[in-house]
Structure 1
Amino acid sequence: MNWKQVPLGPLQTNCYLLMNQQKEAVIFDPGGDGPQLNAYLKKEGITPLAILLTHAHFDHIGAVDDVRNEWGIKVYLHKNETEWLGDSTKNGSAFFLGNQEIIINDADHIIHGEGTLSIGSFEFKIYETPGHSPGSVSFYFEPLGIVFSGDALFAGSIGRTDLPGGNHQQLLDCIHDKLLELPEDTIVASGHGPTTTIGQEMDSNPFLSGF
């Protein structure tokens, strides 16, 4: 098993590929540049199995249909943002991209709450981590000690909470009650910027200093 960070789209949002030895992959948050991502997958002989969305802001979903249609795979999204994919005002593209609104077809599988999700040889623990957006989730893959946290937790920072549905205290509570309960050596694969670890953020993240 291994993983790769691939910045994509207008904000260079981190897309992640989690791969097994057979080069089957789960794709997290393909934010844009769909044709280039598909070309890379073909070049490397990688076979996608599914797309997992940490949330449905425009910069995390831009390449969803390009990848889904090319490979015939399913898209997973939390129930609280099921309407966001097809609504440019909710996913934010109407405000941030102007005439380049992003409209994506509905998700194939709806995440209704926390629990375990199995896709092929991959098994994840799902944590609801709203606050940046109401349907934000984090996917913990224990075999590699990595959590795909979307825009909940960053190296030295946390997700912005001034967008529709954001809630600063809710985000802090979710980080404290769920993400910081993971082993300290857990890699945090964030939606933007470099990766970090739970222990590093516990020690030095100024937003978490009260915990």
Structure 2
Amino acid sequence: MKWTQLPLGPLQTNAYVLENDKKEAIIIDPGSEGPALVNWLQEQALHPLAILLTHAHFDHIGAVDDVRSKFNCPVYIHSKEQDWLTDGDKNGSSRFLGTDAITAQPAEHIIKKEGALIVGSFHFTVFETPGHSPGSVSYYIEEHSIVFSGDALFAQSIGRTDLPGGHHDQLLESIHEKLMTLPEETIVACGHGSPTL
């Protein structure tokens, strides 16, 4: 498996594109610049199988509908944030962007609990890692020693908890119980900034 980090939009939110040798792909958190992301995927001759969302803050969902409509691929999100996609107040875009609220169509697949998630040849373990937001999840690929943590954990930092639904103690618990228990060699591919290598 190959993975590529693509910082998108004014907040430089990391979208991650995972691909196998068949040129099938998984897109994690396509946050912005939908047309440019679609063009890049086409230039790479990739065939997205699914969009996985670590959470539904506006800077992580802005290109969801562009990618989904072009490649006809389903979206996965945790149940606690499934209605955030269609609601600019809940996903924060109304608060930060005013009338230019960012929304997306509802997700096709709702994650209701932790465990295995298999899409094509891609095998993930889903961890519930709330605290930054109530429905935050992390996607771990044990075979490749990498976890896509969204905004829960960054290199030498943690996610903010002052947004609606955030909870500092809950985030620390998520990090200590779910992410810090992963093997030492695990790469943390986070929502902003550089991965821990």
Unaligned runs of 5+ in 1: 198-211
**Residue identity (%):** 63
User: What amino acid sits opposite 2:148 in the alignment?
Assistant: F
Residue 160 of structure 2 aligns with which residue?
160
2:179 corresponds in structure 1 to: 179
Structure-1 residue corresponding to 2:189? 189
Answer yes or no: is the 8 Å Cα contact 2:149–2:190 preserved in 1: yes
Displacement of 1:22: 1.1
Question: Separation in 2 of the partners of 1:30 and 1:10?
Answer: 13
Identify the residue that residue 124 of structure 2 maps to in structure 1: 124
- Structure 2 unaligned spans of 5+: none
Per the TM alignment, residue 131 of structure 1 is displaced from its structure 2 partner at its CA by 0.1
- The C-alpha deviation readout for 1:12-43, integer Å capped at 9, x for no partner, is 10000011111111000000101000100111
Q: Secondary structure at the match of 2:55?
A: coil
Give how far 1:166 is off: 0.4
Write out aligned runs for 1:18-57 (5 A). Answer: 18-57=18-57
Query: Equivalent residue for 1:98?
Result: 98
Corresponding residue for residue 80 of structure 1 = 80
Measure the CA separation in 1 of the matches of 2:135 and 2:100: 24
Q: What is the TM-score normalised by the length of structure 2?
A: 0.99
The letter for the 2-side match of 1:191 is: G
Measure how far apart 1:100 and its partner are: 1.5
Secondary structure in 2 matching 1:196: coil
User: SS at the partner of 1:125?
Assistant: strand
- What residue in structure 2 maps to residue 208 of structure 1? none
Mapped partners of 2:148, 2:83: distance in 1: 22
Asked if the contact 2:61–2:103 (Cα under 8 Å) also holds between the matched residues in 1, the reply is no
How far off is 1:103 after superposition? 1.6
**Corresponding residue SS for 1:83:** helix
Please give the alpha-carbon distance, in whole angstroms, between the structure 1 residues aligned to 2:154 and 2:48.
26
- How many angstroms apart in 1 are the aligned matches of 2:124 and 2:165? 26
Cα root mean square deviation, aligned: 0.7
> Matched residues in 2 for 1:141 and 1:98: separation?
37
Structure 1's consecutive aligned runs of 4 or more residues displaced over 2 angstroms after TM superposition are none
Q: Deviations over 1:130-180 (max 9, x none)?
A: 000000000001121100000000011000000000000000001000101
Show the counterpart of 2:137: 137
**Does residue 17 of the first structure (1) align with residue 5 of the second (2)?**
no
CA deviation map 1:78-104 (0-9, x unaligned): 000011000000000001112221121
